[in-house]
Amino acid sequence: MLFGGHLHFLVTVTALTVLIAFLLVLYAYLKRKINTSAFIGTLTLGVLILLTLELEFGYAGLFALLAFFLFGNLVTKYKYEMKAKLGVAERNKGMRDIKNVLGNGLSPLIFAVLYAFSRDTVLLLGFSGAIATACSDTFSTEIGQAEGNPRLITTLKKVPVGTNGGVSLPGLGAALLGSGLIALVSLAFKLDLVSGAQPHLNLKAIFFLACFLAGFLGCLMDSLLGATLEDKHFYKFRLNKHGVNIIATLFGGIFAIALGYSFDIKL
């Protein structure tokens, strides 16, 4: 239960986070970095995260989403003209639409909704791992396509830039950076971490490490799915890159939870 100064702190921080998030999303919309559908979708996602994670955790969840939103938009600009000439840059000068919002935001929302029903706070680790996966994949794609000489993740044969499932050393390094940034930001979930199994461990470090590893492995899963299943037809259904993103971010969140349970993490 929340009392006194702690409640006042949460209300103040949440209000500031909401205000900053709204202004930044509005700025992105006015600058045509996102279209109308993405603008509405992003705001709706933010509201749902606040409602499901509630006052205690809502500001931290929104902060993690906002960090990904900012990092993702910034890294998209990296050598954009070069990527455009190669034909691998995001269309419309990097403008995102509702498909991008769902591809990267649906899985974190699923973990937030599960938390709202179960009150199992290890799901916050799943939430963070899913966002770390999204950021890791975005960094890997945007930087790797500009710098790398990709090889197919399944065979390690050289492939053209932009090939589904292509990975490169610069891209992998960027993936680690993107995952690490979200893992760091996710420590905004300010709670004492306790472990019934191993109380001597630094569990904040474990939370960071679990999120970091989950994000990177989720990015590798995205590449693996890209090489094997993306754009393949299953009856009348075709798995596109946004579907791959949803599956990979779910995997990243589940892996983070698995690591959390292995250390008996309770937030």
Residue 5 lies in a domain: no
Positive or negative torsion for Cα 112, 118, 120, 122: negative
> Is 178 within 8 Å of 104 (Cβ atoms)?
no
* 41 within a domain of the structure (yes/no): no
More confident residue, 127 or 7: 127
Range of the domain at 103: 70-266
User: What is the pLDDT, as a whole number, of residue 35?
Assistant: 93
Q: In this structure, is residue 2 part of a structural domain?
A: no
Binned at pLDDT 50, 70 and 90, residue 232 comes out as confident
**Rounded mean pLDDT, 204-216:** 92
Q: Report yes or no: 49 and 189 within 8 Å, Cβ to Cβ.
A: no
Digit-coded pLDDT (tens) for 114-168? 999 998 888 999 999 999 999 999 999 999 998 878 999 999 999 999 899 999 9
Cα distance between residue 107 and residue 259, in whole Å: 18
Q: Tell me, what's the pLDDT at 2?
A: 55
pLDDT score for 200: 47
Which pLDDT score, from 0 to 100, does residue 38 have? 95
Q: Show the tokens assigned to 193.
A: 């971490």
Is residue 92 scored above 80 in pLDDT?
no
Asked if the model's pLDDT at residue 30 lies above 80, the reply is yes
Q: Over 80: is that where the pLDDT of 82 sits?
A: yes
Q: What phi and psi, each to the nearest 5 degrees, are found at residue 199? A: -70, -15
Asked if the structure places residue 169 within a domain, the reply is yes
Whether residue 27 is contained in a domain is answered as no
The answer to whether residues 93 and 73 touch, using CB atoms and an 8 Å cutoff, is: no
| pLDDT of residue 195 exceeding 80 | no
pLDDT of residue 20: 94
CA distance 49 to 21: 13
Assess if residue 262 is contained within a domain.
yes
Please give the mean pLDDT across all residues of the chain: 89
For the stretch 49-61, pLDDT in tens is 999 999 889 999 9
β-pair partners for 112 = none
With tokens 């960027």, the residue in question is 174
Mean local confidence (pLDDT), 96-115: 96
Between 153 and 79, the more confident residue is 153
H-run or E-run covering 238: strand 237-238
Least confident range from 19-33, 134-148, 229-243: namely: 229-243
Residue 3 located in a structural domain: no
193, pLDDT greater than 50: no
On whether residue 143 sits in a domain, the answer given is: yes
Listed in sequence order, the residues at least 6 apart from 261 whose beta carbon sits closer than 8 Å to its beta carbon are: 122
Task: Quote the percentage of the chain above a pLDDT of 90.
Answer: 66
Block residue for tokens 């000439």: 85
Is residue 99 classed exposed, middle or buried when 0-12, 13-18 and 19+ CB atoms within 10 A define those classes?
middle
244, exposed or middle or buried, with CB in 10 Å at 0-12, 13-18, 19+?
buried
Residue 265 pLDDT: 65
Q: What does residue 35 show for φ and ψ, rounded to 5 degrees? A: -90, -175
How many domains does one find in the chain? 1
Say how far apart CA 112 and CA 135 lie, in whole Å.
18
Whether pLDDT at 192 is above 60: no
Report which residue type is found at 45: L
Strand partners, 266: 194
